[in-house]
Amino acid sequence: IVTAEAIDNAMALDVAMGGSTNTVLHVLALARETGLDYPVARFNEVSDRTPHLAKVSPAWDGPKQWHIQDVHAAGGVQAILGELAQRTGVLKLDAATVTGRTMGENLEHAERRGDEVIRPVDQPHSQRGALSALFGNLAPEGAIIKVGAVDQHEMNFRGPARVFDSEEAATNAVVNGKINPGDVIIVRYEGPRGGPGMREMLALTSMVKGIPELSSTTALITDGRFSGGTRGLCIGHVSPEAAEGGPIGMINDGDMVNIDLSARTLNVEVSDEELATRKTGWTHPAPKYQRGWLARYTKLVTNASNGAILE
């Protein structure tokens, strides 16, 4: 049942309804545990053929807010999948499911109620799905963003890095008015190994998005992760993470960061030679835990591009 095609179907649903970026982490872990070769870049292939049909708060900033209960009332998951099934090539309709029937058979009686919450497949919010994997010299193994919750004027963003080695340090900077419009907030050492545990950046994202002068004029990049309720330029799952010597650990304050969501690129305007030089002076931080389960977890966990599973 758990095949690459089944995971494609799961991700098609996720990008069609603007679901959580955490889904990427979970399905990568599932793929690794089942021995499947399912690279992060495959999410973009799914997104390229899957239209964005449902925008749920806070991704939707229209005159009326839609919430997950509205999606349920409009037909829910089955209705979204039913719409996707009408476009050839989006879903793998012959994939087996836990019902004992194929995906196509499961959707024979799917019904969508109304056109507002779940749009028809020929009238989507966008032709490309709501999640994207970004690649570049800042994230050679990938990073994830809910692009369906990003306003059009933010699709290309360039700004100076403001670097913090924990969520608390970044949050304190915001509270004390030390973040300016145009800044790119870098929060590192919050990945699976660095955290350890890859906690959600919920407090920080809520704070930044709650300040009008910062909400649409700053970007946030982290090797940690977010809740499903993010909006705007919130890029997570940066891999390799800082704690394993990834490029995000080599960024300095003031380095210019370039985000191009149309091209799906995430780069720091620093040469490969300079990044390599900086890495020679980088020292691995001491583990936060020296004994117990978290110490063992820190030694064994992989980064987000591998689903943060244990080796």
CA torsion sign for 88, 263, 151, 171 is: positive
CA pair distance 171, 187, nearest whole angstrom: 10
Tens digits of residue pLDDT in 258-306: 999 999 999 999 999 999 999 999 998 888 999 999 999 999 999 999 9
Q: Measuring CA to CA, how many Å separate 78 from each of 98, 174, 184, 271?
A: 15, 42, 39, 48
DSSP state of 52: B
| pTM of this structure | 0.95
Q: Which residues pair with 162 in a beta bridge?
A: 185
Q: Tell me what pLDDT residue 230 has.
A: 81
Q: Measuring CA to CA, how many Å separate 122 from each of 15, 51, 61, 82, 84?
A: 16, 9, 21, 13, 10
Span 115-142, average pLDDT: 96
Tens digits of residue pLDDT in 212-268: 999 999 999 999 999 777 889 999 999 999 999 999 999 999 999 999 999 999 999
Hey, what domains does the chain have and what are their CATH numbers? Answer: 4-106 (no CATH), 132-306 (3.50.30.80)
CA pair distance 232, 277, nearest whole angstrom: 33
Span 166-185, average pLDDT: 97
Q: Tell me what pLDDT residue 162 has.
A: 99
Confidence tier at 209 by pLDDT (50, 70, 90) = confident
Give catalytic residue positions. Answer: 227
Backbone angles phi, psi at 132, to 5 degrees: -135, 145
Q: Tell me what pLDDT residue 12 has.
A: 98
Statement: residue 64 has pLDDT above 90: no
DSSP state of 228: T
